[in-house]
Structure 1
Amino acid sequence: MSSIASSALAESRGEPLSLAEQAFLQLQDRLIFLDIAPGAPLNEARLSQELHVGRTPLREALKRLESDHLVVTYPRRGTFATPVDITALSEISQVRQVLEPLAARLAAEQRGGRHRLQLQELGEELAALDAGSPDRGDVLRWDVRVHREIYAAAGNSHLQSTLERYSHLATRIWCVVADRIPQLQEHIDVHSSLLRTVLEGDADGASATMSAHVQEFETQIRRVL
């Protein structure tokens, strides 16, 4: 099972995460949302202090991040955040167009399964968010939260880990162009619809909604490139 899937499983069981998993998850989000700039060096000593972990769990976390193409390590030079490869958008989208609707369908067939409560809570939080004026950063993080929970609800750890990896690469591309996308409210509406169809057990609806969502994601990015 992937580090992502194993971490999610531990959290769902109320089990404490290892130091390496904690470091992995914190660095993963910083890299995904470009809080660590593409190409920036990752200083192990500084990160060890910031994350309150030793060098050994930190290096384990960095190794996992490298396998997910979020960092790259060069001999005698160190570890760096990977560049955002916008030219990979088509290849990333091709994979997501096939697998994302499948994950939504599987999640809906189980009506969320053991993740049903989390999905319901996400839907309620989204409804409250819809009434306000979320900034772009909030919308980006909501996108990742909803997708992660649906991947988990699909009940297939291999599918989950694959989609997590491609979703994170896509999110990094989105972060580069997000300030040029004029309307993000539709994104919140789609997520609300997606969660609703999954919870209602509407497998066809969930699959179709997810397919259209992934396609629109690519279309919006290409409009501003």
Structure 2
Amino acid sequence: MHPQVNPPSLAEQAYLFVRDRLVMLDIPPGSPINEEELGTALGMGRTPIREALKRLESERLVVAYPRRGTFATDVNISDLAHISEVRRTLEPMATAAAAARATDADRATLTELRAQLDADVAGGDNAELLRTDLALHRAIYRCVHNPFLEDTLIRYDNLATRIWCVFVPRLSGMAGHVHEHVPLLTAIIEGDGEKAAALTHAHVTGFEAAIRALI
């Protein structure tokens, strides 16, 4: 028997909904967060919305000001070096761990994602490619089987993706950046941690270089 998985709480549902809208800049940086509108859209009261916003504030995606309200945080290019430093340190270690720890089910999931990637890269615009990139990273992080590390990786990848979104209208080669996941997925599927770590370091470094080239 499979263990019973409890459905996400209302606060968790609100968090996931608002988080991804903030990450993809569907809620623009600096814009106010309207709790009533979110509650209406999600069909829930303000309490779970407020719980979600507190969590998002701890992740630097929103900021609350007394007597003014809650706003989407700005995207500051000055944060790029700090975010990249964390990712260069943690992500190679994480993908090496994923190569060692991934279950048969994990490897099957990554194999399916790898097969889908060519079609996604060939047919998607930059915004869709960013969503593909985000989904791939999160799938890889789950294979680490360390919830604390997974949460940290997602948090910094979210912040990095917001920077991508700001610059995406001026970016070329986005498809190539996303397609770099093919050999990385292969290394994890095959259990080659050393190769996975090296490819990840190059991927994160390439992201930072591509953004800096546009500054």
Quick check: TM above 0.5?
A: yes
Gaps of 5+ in 1: 1-11
CA shift in 2, pair 1:66/1:13, >3 Å? farther
Length, aligned pairs only: 213
1:64 corresponding residue in structure 2: 55
> Does the Cα contact within 8 Å between 1:112 and 1:119 map onto a contact in 2?
no
After superposing on structure 2, the runs of 4+ consecutive aligned residues of structure 1 that deviate more than 4 Å are none
Q: Which one of 21, 24, 27 corresponds to residue 15 of structure 2?
A: 24
1:163 match: 153
1:177-212 per-position Cα deviation (integer Å, ceiling 9, x unaligned): 011111112123211111111001111111111110
Structure 2 counterpart SS, 1:72: strand
Q: CA deviation at 1:36?
A: 0.2
Which letter maps to 1:128?
Answer: A
What TM-score do you get using the length of structure 1 for normalisation?
0.90
Q: State the AA in 1 paired with 2:80.
A: L
Alignment check: 8 A CA contact 1:104 1:150 kept: yes
Normalising by structure 2, report the TM-score.
0.94
Distance 1:165 1:119 in 2: 21
Segments of structure 2 that go 5 or more residues without pairing to the other structure are: none
Alignment check: 8 A CA contact 2:10 2:48 kept: yes
Q: CA deviation at 1:116?
A: 2.6
SS in 2 for 1:154: coil
Which among 15, 18, 42 is matched to residue 51 of structure 1? 42
1:204 matched to which residue of 2? 194
Cα pair 1:139 1:187 within 8 Å, conserved: no
Give, in whole Å, the separation in 1 of the partners of 2:167 and 2:23: 14
1:114: Cα distance to partner?
4.9
CA apart distance, 1:109: 1.0
**1:123 matched to 2:114:** yes
Instruction: State the AA in 1 paired with 2:31.
Output: A
Q: Is this contact kept in 2: 1:104–1:207, CA < 8 A?
A: yes
SS of residue paired to 1:79: strand
Q: Is the 8 A contact 2:102 2:144 kept in 1?
A: no
Change (3 A) 1:112 1:173: farther
More displaced stretch, 114-123 vs 155-164: 114-123
In the TM superposition, 1:167-206 aligns within 5 A as 167-206=157-196
Q: 2:81 maps to which residue?
A: 90
Contact 2:120 2:132 in 1 (8 A): no
Aligned residue for 1:3?
none
Give the conservation status (yes or no) of the 8 Å contact 2:11–2:49: yes
Match of 2:32 in 1: 41
Is the contact made by 1:24 and 1:62 (CA closer than 8 Å) also made in structure 2? yes
Counterpart CA distance in 2 for 1:183 and 1:13 is: 43
Question: How far 1:133 sits from its partner (Å)?
Answer: 2.8
Provide the residue aligned with 1:154 in structure 2. Answer: 144
In structure 2, distance between residues paired with 1:71 and 1:113: 38
